[in-house]
Amino acid sequence: MAEFELLARQLIQRWREDPNATYQSWFLWDERIKNFRSIRRGLAQVVAEIEAGRFGVAYRGSSLETVVHSVAEQRQIFKGADHAFLWKPKLRIPDIYENPANQRAFGRLLDHCACCDTAEEIIAGIHTIDRLNIKGLGPAVANLLYFLHPTLVPPFNTAIVNGYNKLTGGKVKLGSWHHFLAMRSGVLDLNERFRDLLSNDLGAIGGLLFDIGSGRYPAPPRDEEDQTLGSWTARLEQARAEAQTLNKALQKQGESDRTHSEIQAWLRDIGLALGYDVWIASNDRGRLHDGVRLGEGCLESLPASISTSTGADAIRLIDVLWLERGGDRVAAAFEVEHSTSIYSGIVRMLDLALSGSDLHATAGLFLVAPDARESEVRAQIARPAFSRIADLEIAYLPYGELERNKDAISRFGSGLKAIKAISRALP
């Protein structure tokens, strides 16, 4: 066994037995797991207030202050956790109090990480927030993510970073998400190497690094091969490469989602202007366009007669529905087909039209797609599988016509006459 590993094992064993070290004083603390539950509930409250626009513009007195204070009370290891979130008026950071868009992005990160299950999803969320370059909002957020996913995200503060650098020879910088992700990779390797003395919960190795970084325990000298920065450099470059690859994929997807959401927002606004109740697909209601949730001002639930009808699960996913005000009759249904398969949208239209109820029998059915996709739309409609389409009078509504006429329809339109006028019959 290499000398470094032998000395490291001896250090960890002494650390585990020390009643004043973080392993016994915090990691094995009876109240620790209870604190996880309360912190998670607190984070859910932060997300809910941000989404509802009730969070406010100050840290003091906010739900975030409450939850971060709970984190900071987690014994010595998290002392000072609130510093990263305190408002610094001269620097105007972290910029999540005065900037509503940044505040919502922060809320989306917390919500995304609370709902996901894999490291890949968490890392994708981190890259998304990192791309926004929000001033003063850096890897200290990992201390919140740790309480959501203790086996996937290590805690992060100055002492832990110092301990990691002393133990591994790394060069982690506090303010960089790339450095945090590279350190996370190294922490996972260390944890695997000494798993029999540590835990699947990364709080254990986080506590070890904290005690090394704060000077309670000296790091053992590394073996000759561990003296170089090669392994750290490789980790950092890998983190940067992964970020670049993922950012390209996210950017491409983001462009698709942004256009799709924009069209939904147009149809929402037109429908509301024409006096209809509007339903946004249940999986899209929380998406933002121009800083506003797509579901803003729209129905929170479908009428019972629709939600209990045949095919209700598919109907809920139709991109936009216009319903007669205060009633349960669908006046128009829109499927936005920006870049995805047109097939699924047609199937949902069929589910609506053939749901066995007269509530939808006279609905206007529209496939909304880029001008350049008209031939593709018509080719799909012509398939034998969709022979019933001709009876349903589904129309093709091109983006260009909608964009040119949406303002006039909202101001002067009545019913579906104008929308039908700019649509094209299918097949």
CATH code where residue 331 lies? 3.40.91
Q: According to the model, what pLDDT value does residue 227 have?
A: 46
Give yes or no for residue 20 having a pLDDT over 60: yes
Residue 330, pLDDT > 60, answer yes
The average pLDDT across 334-345 equals 73
Q: Residues 293, 219: one domain?
A: no
Comparing 72 with 362, the larger pLDDT belongs to 72
The answer to whether 208 touches 163, Cβ cutoff 8 Å, is yes
Tracing tokens 């989602």 back to the chain, one arrives at 257
State the pLDDT confidence band at 106, using cuts at 50, 70 and 90. Answer: very high
Whether residues 185 and 322 share a domain: the answer is no
Q: Which of 54-68, 139-153, 226-240, 317-331 has the lowest mean pLDDT?
A: 226-240
Has residue 50 got a pLDDT over 50? yes
Checking if the pLDDT of 208 tops 70, the result is yes
Phi-psi sector, 368: left (phi>0), alpha (psi -120 to 50), beta: beta
Choose the weakest-confidence range: 109-118, 205-214, 358-367: 358-367
Last residue of a domain, one of 191, 208, 243: 243
The alpha carbon dihedral of 178, 183, 186, 191 has a sign of: negative
Domain shared by 362 and 313, yes or no = yes
Q: What is the number of structural domains in the chain?
A: 2
Answer yes or no: do 96 and 233 share one domain: yes
Same domain? For 153 and 188 the reply is yes
The reply to whether 266 and 228 lie within a common domain is no
What's the mean per-residue pLDDT of the chain? 85
- Where does the pLDDT of residue 192 fall: very low under 50, low under 70, confident under 90, or very high at 90 and above? very high
Whether 227 and 260 share a structural domain: no
- Domain boundary pick from 221, 243, 265: 243
In degrees, rounded to 5, the angle at the alpha carbon of residue 284 between the alpha carbons of residues 278 and 286 is: 95
State the distance between the two ends of the chain, measured CA to CA, in whole angstroms. Answer: 74
- Rounded to whole angstroms, the Cα distance separating 5 from 240 reads 29
96 and 158 within one domain: yes
Do residue 274 and residue 355 come from a single domain?
yes
Domain identity same for 227 and 322: no
pLDDT digits (tens, 9 = 90+) for 73-100: 887 889 888 899 999 989 999 999 999 8
Q: Is the pLDDT of residue 228 over 50?
A: no
**Domain for residue 46, yes or no?**
yes
Structure confidence at residue 204 (pLDDT): 97
Q: What is the pLDDT of residue 361?
A: 52
Same domain, 33 and 168: yes
Q: Is the pLDDT of residue 393 over 50?
A: yes
Task: Give start and end residues of each alpha helix (H) in 134-220.
Answer: 142-148, 158-168, 177-193, 203-213
Residue-level pLDDT at 237: 76
- Would you say residue 248 lies in a domain? no
**Token representation of residue 40:** 């998670």
The pLDDT, as a whole number, for residue 385 is: 60
Q: For 232-271, what is each residue's pLDDT tens digit?
A: 667 767 767 766 665 565 555 544 554 788 899 999 999 9
Closest listed residue to residue 422, CA positions, set 408, 281, 360: 408
In a domain, 304, yes or no: yes
pLDDT at residue 255, as a whole number: 46
Domain limits for position 285 = 253-425
Counting Cβ atoms within 10 Å, is residue 35 exposed (0-12), middle (13-18) or buried (19+)? middle
Element (H, E) at 143: helix 142-148
What is the percent of the chain where pLDDT is above 90? Answer: 48
Q: What pLDDT is stored for residue 316 in this prediction?
A: 87
Contact of 332 with 419, CB cutoff 8 Å? yes
Write down the pLDDT at residue 247. Answer: 59
What value does the mean pLDDT take over residues 371-381? 81
Residue 107: both structure tokens together: 């809320």
What is the band of 130 on the pLDDT scale with cuts at 50, 70, 90? very high
Per residue in 276-314, pLDDT (tens digit) is 999 999 888 887 777 788 898 999 999 988 888 877 888
Are residue 205 and residue 167 in the same domain, yes or no? yes
Of 283-292, 304-313, 354-363, 396-405, the one with minimum mean pLDDT is 354-363
Distance between CA atoms of residues 75 and 26, nearest Å: 6
DSSP 93: B
In this model, does residue 217 exceed pLDDT 80? yes
Residue with the bigger pLDDT between 360 and 411: it is 411
Q: What is the pTM for the complete model shown?
A: 0.62
**Residue 52 has what pLDDT?**
81
Last residue within a domain, chosen from 243, 275, 303: 243
pLDDT tier at 15 (50, 70, 90 boundaries)? very high
